[in-house]
Amino acid sequence: MPVLIFADAAAAPADAGELKGTRFIGDAKRIAGLLADRYGIPSSH
């Protein structure tokens, strides 16, 4: 299961999960979309 963990909580989107103060996204499609939006990395089809 892919997980994207945010070092800075302020950089995490509003829909990120939280566990013990650590913000994360655990959905592969959401991670790909976020990386595409922020860094121009193409997402898979």
pLDDT digits (tens, 9 = 90+) for 5-39: 999 988 999 999 999 999 999 999 999 999 999 99
Look-up of token digits 């299961």:
1
11 domain-assigned: yes
Q: Where residue 45 falls among pLDDT bands split at 50, 70, 90?
A: low
26 domain-assigned: yes
When divided into structural domains, the chain yields a total of 1
Token duo for residue 13: 């989107």
10 domain-assigned: yes
45 domain-assigned: no
Per the CB < 8 A criterion, the answer to whether 22 and 39 are in contact is no
Q: What is this structure's pTM?
A: 0.83
Choice between 27 and 43, residue whose per-residue pLDDT is larger: 27
